[in-house]
Structure 1
């Protein structure tokens, strides 16, 4: 809705204007004044999009009044109401900041024309605003903080052209942002409480606080996404470790583990290396060798059987891998442990630390 003020000392003029404006969509007369004192109070207490101002309203310098109105509400369109004998004053007033004028007896078509001209300008700017919200949301979804901030500046600049002091003009923008953030929260599984918190803050934004408030919200969104991603990554790695523990003796592969947690092998490989400081294949190999050591210490199984138990089809290859990691062959390892009866290394442990010290299996 677009707010209009009427400032004219003749009640019949105000009533006529109200009748005409009542028939227009998205337009509302939110106040009227018959004197300068009433006009000043009316302007200070409202956020008009347009003001119809009688150029001969008693008790003031009209140019001063226009300058005051523009200083207080810069985006308010001031339309002068005058007659044919006031052309000099009209041109002077236009030079000092008025946006247009209507000549008595104010034909209905002229009123429609001047109001619709303004409405079309605001509508155009509003459409542009809604269009630049989309890439803003897209940059957030892609977790591109730099471009998100740049797009926020673009939205703020556009807002200053449209609705510096008019909260109703913010609604399409804030609604689009709330809707976009809702989609991001669902798809990225962000906390519902955070979504409500951001929505509450956005709903109370005005044109003056838009950029600073949105920047704070933006920083919180990216922090929340990062924290959420870390939690998700921890859950993924723990699931993979559990999967490996149940299947490593059968020769689990990166592709099988990736399919188990619904990730690409490439992404899982990078994530695994980042979290455990060891690549997937080497980790599985070390778990196999640890199991081999346990079997060598606690059983009399032949080395060939242990190799087959761990999905090594050739005992020689198994021995080569074992020696590379442990430093001795499986046979020598068993002999060393038997020669040291005080060793407690053969006792199986219920939980094992992974090399980076942050994980249990």
Structure 2
């Protein structure tokens, strides 16, 4: 069970978001709620929350300030910001927090589901790596696994002011995804490639594609999987790896959510 903290000073929005998550993920989530950033920090540490979905604009302590405190003491917490377009300049401080994604209000069902699935996948992967490292240490084979590479995002400092620039930007992003979708890539990786801050890139991506990065990448991978599944000489597990999912069960779950059937059923339907 994943512990998810929802922080938003608007009770109606907070309860609606909780209901949407429970309807989609059911008993796999335990949802806690906070009315402001101060309470969010307290609850996050007390309950050891793994995923935090937090509005940026809140009284007492805003979402960015709360996330900074959470990140200082828990580098692995998956932080997802809720924000409006006019708050992106305010969100520049969020760059160093390394948020998983930014959901623009009102967030679409597909975007919310995709980013939650990605957060849960990352948590599962860390737990598997930690277990593997522990087993290696116990067996005396541990020689060291991998330090997180730090980086500084740089704000591009310019708006894509006309349609030509926007089209060129969108095509550059498409090329990056086409070239790297089979790898472990994130919104932060794409933002660094564009030399933009996370927050600015998120805004730009939404303008270009009318959805967030995680949802777009998920759909792109599923589209590629559909193409590969037509070749019956490639196993479903191999297809999973070829489109960037190293856990075949997780791939099947995502594929079924989008296509309404699992990969094997889809192949049979052809």
TM-score, normalised via structure 1 length: 0.36
The structure where helix makes up a greater share of residues is 1
Larger relative contact order (Cα-Cα within 8 Å, sequence gap ≥ 6): 2
Q: TM-score, normalised by structure 2?
A: 0.47
